[in-house]
Amino acid sequence: MSYLLPAMTALAYCVSALVVRRCTSALNARSAATVFAAAISAASITGSGVAVGIRLPIDLVPTEAPYASAAIAIVALLAASLAPLASHSPRTFSRIFFLTAAAQACLATTDPLWIAVFWCASAWIAWAELSAATGAGISTRLFGLFHAVAGALFVLGAGLLSIGDSPTGAGLLLAGIAIRAAVFPGHSWFVPLLEEAPMGIAVAFAAPQLAAFAWVAASADQLPGAIANTVAGAAAFSALFAALLGLAQSNGRRAMGFLVMSQTNLVLTGIGSQSAIARSGAVFTWQSLCVAFAGFAMALAAIEARRGGLLLVAGRGNHAATPRLAAAVLIFGLACVGMPLTPGFTGEDLLLQGALSQGLQAAAIVATALNGITVLRIFLTVFSGRAPGTGEIDLRPSEVYVVGAVLAAMLAATALPRGLIAPASLRRAAIEPTGPSSGMISGNAEGKAKPHRSILPLVR
Amino acid sequence: MMESSTQWLVIAIVALPGVAVLALGLSAWLRRLIEERAINAVVAVAFAGSAIAAAVLIAFTAATGAGGVIASAGDWFAVEHYHFTWVLIADRLSLPFTLFCALLVGLIGAFSRRYLHREPGYLRFYLLLALFGAGVELVLLAGTLDLLFFGWEIVGLASAMLIAFFNERAQPVEHGLRAFATYRVCDTGLLAAAVWLHHAAGSSTAVLPAPGATPWMGFVGPGDQFQATAIALLLLWASIGKSAQLPLGGWLPRAMEGPTPSSAIFYGAISIHLGAYLLLRSAPLLEQAPIARLMICLVGGATALHATFVGRVQSDIKSALAYASMTQVGIIFVEIGLGFHHLALAHIVGHAAIRSLQILRSPSLLHDHHQLERAMGQQLPRTGGHIERIVPAAIQPWLYRHALERGYIDALLFDFVVRPVLRLARELDHRERQWTSHLANGRARPTMLDQRDPVEVS
């Protein structure tokens, strides 16, 4: 099965990437990329709205995550428009678009081979940019090492599943997904990527969370419940681990890296929770985190470009000089951790209410609480003080329009979250919940989940 | 028709402050130069409208003898058996509070017009004040624990942002972060209680009281007493953070770094009492959990004793008032634990009114004392003589030292909780860096071990 809107969007990003690459300066490239990304985002949001509102004879968007394509388009818009010129060449802007195209292409298909191709392509594009930007630095080596393993495991797992070796194939597939989603102990590439890569590239690669999509696409009838539970448990531990480490950082990029790693792992916890409510919450959180993370990271990159560093030491900022930038950091940051008045609240509420294990719920609650502290700590330290003569400027007009439009879209998603939640007919396809009582998840006699129809049948 | 009108009035109590937040937020984003008078007008109209709606509802319930009005805006979102519903309850518990809070926010808004005149963050202050007011009204009217949590978090965020309002100085920022960290840690209790209640009882919606039981609607626990006790203790944990009870009350005197008007309304009047309000709304649940009620009495009693001694040795008026607030809220906790719900309700309103007035007048303390002394023709008499009579002379020096050090509670918390957690986090970070360096062929990366604590507790 394939979906038209992400496919068309992917094609549009490829064409745009080729055009942007021909720009003679980073400034021109950013302007062109912003215009292209804005146009594609508007078309994608409109298309997703049409697909949700009108029943068409063709499959326009993935039904369980109808706004995922639009969310990824918004990620590209934020990454392009807020990218600092010093660290983003025309080639970098081009790669941001190619990464987005690969993510959109993943959404467009349910064929495991094509998903594997796009999965590996996006990793290769990010690795190429890392190599160009940092040489053979730590982030490049770790990225290459972990993603070579993750890609190989995913391809092998999908291959074994397609020939009917379910337990081994599922295990390999989930191992690949776990590394790509930065689940402990396969997480070591994630924070160095956010620390050292050009922020636009880091965002375009990490924000779409292709691992979460791959798990949703794989669906639970292919994956034994015991293995899924193990990965969900590991993801919950990783969320807690990363949230704790986020408190200990004095570098803004690194703190943000652990924060996002923690929240990404919560998404995986929800998907693996084997409950329709948690799964809906995880998919919702995936889409909202996608946009919030992009906005948070790019706003911090803008501050970093103005200041020359992002140390979390109080007294080096000037809130009065950069009020819009401060507002963007705060709102996107709070949206990352699911504070009320942001769309993340809906997702995390569903995720917590649906998780059937008290251990997973406790880990998620504590991780979210710690992440909230990290967000406010980043905000308060970065914007405190009245540093004289730094010449820090607020958001540029084009950035104001882009960030304002994205914040308005987030407000709309907060007020009317129902459209972003998968329809009931599809939710029933997920594993049936065992009821409202608490307790540990258990599979059937063979240690497998109850069979059901695949939502996006990765392996038929 | 009448029923529909009253339901709209209930919704208006929350919606009007919400509209004010939107309007002020939009103007802040667009950076339109709005006159201070216009900012004031937005806040004043919103909270005057809120107060009028609450007053009309009080008159309506008094005239008709109705227990209250329930307004439901339906499901916000729903999946399977889980529904997040907007249910607002305007009853004998919430209505006096909503009226009082709307009036107080409006008054503080009017007072701040002169106090913050030409302050660079004028619009930001009123935006956060309106956000706080909207959050409080939501907490007060919430008919489900989920909705209460929604408002609860907004109140916490607005509180921390206002403590850190003067962000050009390091201390307010540090203290704002400390208050927020305390809130977040304690809010885990409220969230866990809501989740547990859903799983154990199927819903977290407040229900009508049984005849002869609590006088208002409230949250009810599951039949199992163990689970009811656990949920009640989680709610107590949430209340401890918001109401600055032992052992987590150390953020309260530091919270006075914010502008005086916001200190008055947050820590003298409204925010500090929200923990007690949560316990009052959970009265039916507490009836099922005698152990939790005992714990409430113990926490409240210990806080009252601790705060009354510590407050008496403070050398600045705002800290003294902060500890005085803690003392009274501790006593209110004891009243709730003992089941004196109406007494607690009256105590909250009375204390909130007098304390907010005292904090608002605190910058003029010397002036007020001079006026009093001129009027009396003599020095003001000493207070606290009864403490000297009650406490044996041998213990007094020890007690004085204990009070000066604020019971060593902050130091103990830092040494035995915060520092070990941060040390663990830094150690894990160090190992993480070593591991990534090892994987990347032994390239060295700087460690964090020699750096200061990121969450410094002063």
Q: pLDDT by residue (tens digit) across B36-77?
A: 888 999 999 999 999 999 999 999 988 888 778 888 888 888
Q: Angle at the Cα of A267 (from A264 to A271), degrees rounded to 5? A: 145
Model's pTM, two decimal places?
Answer: 0.90
Contact of B276 with B243, CB cutoff 8 Å: yes
Nearest to A277 among B82, B440, B445 (CB): B82
Q: What pLDDT does residue B147 have? A: 94
Across the interface, whether the CB atoms of B455 and A377 are under 8 A apart is answered yes
Across the interface, whether the CB atoms of A365 and B77 are under 8 A apart is answered no
pLDDT bucket at A447, cuts 50 / 70 / 90 = very low
Q: What is the ipTM of this complex?
A: 0.91
Nearest to A404 among B29, B77, B157 (CB): B29
Q: What pLDDT does residue B458 have? A: 34
Number of H helices, E strands in chain B: 19, 2
Q: What pLDDT does residue B1 have? A: 52
Structure tokens at A207: 């924000």
More confident residue, A191 or A167: A191
Residues of A in Cβ contact (< 8 Å) with B150: 340, 345
Q: Is B76 on the interface with A (CB under 8 A)?
A: yes
Across the interface, whether the CB atoms of B157 and A324 are under 8 A apart is answered no
Across the interface, whether the CB atoms of A345 and B150 are under 8 A apart is answered yes
Share of chain B above pLDDT 90, in %: 53
Distance from CA of A422 to the nearest CA of B (A): 9
Nearest-Cα residue of chain A relative to residue B167: A384
Structure tokens at A380: 């308060």
Beta-carbon contacts of residue B317 (< 8 Å; ≥ 6 apart): B362, B365
Over residues A325-350, the mean pLDDT reads: 94
Nearest-Cα residue of chain B relative to residue A193: B436
Across the interface, whether the CB atoms of B173 and A365 are under 8 A apart is answered no
Q: Is B405 on the interface with A (CB under 8 A)?
A: no
Contact of B444 with B437, CB cutoff 8 Å: yes
With a cut of 80, say whether residue B79 has pLDDT above it: yes
Over residues A386-396, the mean pLDDT reads: 75
Structure tokens at A188: 């070591």
Residues of A in Cβ contact (< 8 Å) with B160: 376
Contact of B238 with B190, CB cutoff 8 Å: yes
Over residues A163-192, the mean pLDDT reads: 87
Across the interface, whether the CB atoms of B84 and A241 are under 8 A apart is answered no
Q: What pLDDT does residue A438 have? A: 30
More confident residue, B135 or A1: B135
Start-end of H helices in B283-416: 283-287, 290-312, 317-338, 341-361, 365-376, 385-390, 396-404, 409-413
Across the interface, whether the CB atoms of A381 and B151 are under 8 A apart is answered no
Contact of A455 with A63, CB cutoff 8 Å: yes
Nearest-Cα residue of chain B relative to residue A140: B440
Residues of A in Cβ contact (< 8 Å) with B78: 418
Choose from B82, B146, B447 for mutation: most chain A CBs within 10 A. Answer: B82
With a cut of 60, say whether residue B380 has pLDDT above it: yes
Residues of B in Cβ contact (< 8 Å) with A381: 173
Choose from B163, B195, B452 for mutation: most chain A CBs within 10 A. Answer: B195
Nearest-Cα residue of chain A relative to residue B138: A340
Residues of B in Cβ contact (< 8 Å) with A427: 79-80
Choose from B19, B80, B125, B434 for mutation: most chain A CBs within 10 A. Answer: B80
Tracing tokens 């063709």 back to the chain, one arrives at A58
Q: pLDDT by residue (tens digit) across B86-110?
A: 999 998 899 999 999 999 999 999 9
Distance from CA of B18 to the nearest CA of A (A): 11
Across the interface, whether the CB atoms of B195 and A366 are under 8 A apart is answered no
| Sign of the CA dihedral running B76, B126, B106, B249 | positive
Which region among A244-248, A337-341, A416-420 has the lowest average model confidence (pLDDT)?
A: A416-420
Question: How many angstroms separate the first and last alpha carbons of chain B?
Answer: 57
Nearest-Cα residue of chain A relative to residue B21: A341
Residues of A in Cβ contact (< 8 Å) with B422: 247-248
Q: Is B52 on the interface with A (CB under 8 A)?
A: no
Across the interface, whether the CB atoms of A365 and B441 are under 8 A apart is answered no
Q: What pLDDT does residue A440 have? A: 27
Residues of B in Cβ contact (< 8 Å) with A249: 429, 448, 454
Residues of A in Cβ contact (< 8 Å) with B171: none
Residues of A in Cβ contact (< 8 Å) with B121: 320
Structure tokens at B353: 């009114």
For A165, A454, B319, B324, B361, the CA distances from B358, given in Å and listed in that order, are 74, 65, 12, 11, 5
Nearest-Cα residue of chain B relative to residue A395: B29
Nearest-Cα residue of chain A relative to residue B163: A380
Distance from CA of B440 to the nearest CA of A (A): 6
Nearest to A384 among B80, B81, B167 (CB): B167
Q: What pLDDT does residue B229 have? A: 94
Residues of A in Cβ contact (< 8 Å) with B428: 241, 244-245, 248
Q: What pLDDT does residue B140 have? A: 95
Across the interface, whether the CB atoms of A369 and B436 are under 8 A apart is answered no
Choose from A194, A259, A373 for mutation: most chain B CBs within 10 A. Answer: A373
The helix (run of H) or strand (run of E) holding residue B84 is strand B82-91
More confident residue, A345 or A441: A345
Which of B185, B86, B13, B16 has the alpha carbon at shortest distance from A346?
Answer: B86
Across the interface, whether the CB atoms of A138 and B436 are under 8 A apart is answered yes
More confident residue, A163 or B148: B148
Q: What pLDDT does residue A15 have? A: 94
pLDDT bucket at A1, cuts 50 / 70 / 90 = low
Length of chain B: 458
Q: Is B421 on the interface with A (CB under 8 A)?
A: yes
Over residues B424-444, the mean pLDDT reads: 84
Over residues A225-243, the mean pLDDT reads: 89
Share of chain A above pLDDT 70, in %: 87
- CA B180 to CA B153: how far, in whole Å? 10
Q: Is B29 on the interface with A (CB under 8 A)?
A: yes
Across the interface, whether the CB atoms of B422 and A376 are under 8 A apart is answered no
pLDDT bucket at A442, cuts 50 / 70 / 90 = very low
Across the interface, whether the CB atoms of B454 and A380 are under 8 A apart is answered no
A388: number of Cβ within 10 Å: 7
Nearest-Cα residue of chain B relative to residue A137: B440
Q: pLDDT by residue (tens digit) across A51-92?
A: 777 766 667 667 777 788 899 999 999 999 999 998 899 999
Q: Is B445 on the interface with A (CB under 8 A)?
A: yes
Nearest to A421 among B79, B176, B436 (CB): B79
pLDDT bucket at A432, cuts 50 / 70 / 90 = very low
Which region among A200-214, A219-233, A416-430 has the lowest average model confidence (pLDDT)?
A: A416-430
Query: Does B247 sit behind a cis peptide bond, omega within 30 degrees of 0 on the bond before it?
Result: yes
More confident residue, A102 or A440: A102
Strand, coil or helix: B395: coil
Across the interface, whether the CB atoms of A349 and B167 are under 8 A apart is answered no
| Sign of the CA dihedral running B338, B343, B348, B351 | negative
Q: What pLDDT does residue B392 have? A: 87
pLDDT bucket at B274, cuts 50 / 70 / 90 = very high
Beta-carbon contacts of residue B95 (< 8 Å; ≥ 6 apart): B54, B57, B58, B61, B68
Which of B75, B191, B195 has the alpha carbon at shortest distance from A354?
Answer: B195
Share of chain A above pLDDT 90, in %: 50
Nearest-Cα residue of chain B relative to residue A189: B436
Tracing tokens 């906790």 back to the chain, one arrives at B333
Which region among A453-457, B10-14, B30-34 has the lowest average model confidence (pLDDT)?
A: A453-457
More confident residue, A227 or B24: B24
With a cut of 60, say whether residue B264 has pLDDT above it: yes
Share of chain B above pLDDT 70, in %: 94
pLDDT bucket at A218, cuts 50 / 70 / 90 = low
Across the interface, whether the CB atoms of B455 and A247 are under 8 A apart is answered yes
B295: number of Cβ within 10 Å: 19
Across the interface, whether the CB atoms of A145 and B29 are under 8 A apart is answered no
Q: pLDDT by residue (tens digit) across A322-337?
A: 899 999 999 999 999 9
Q: What pLDDT does residue A56 have? A: 66
Across the interface, whether the CB atoms of A427 and B29 are under 8 A apart is answered no
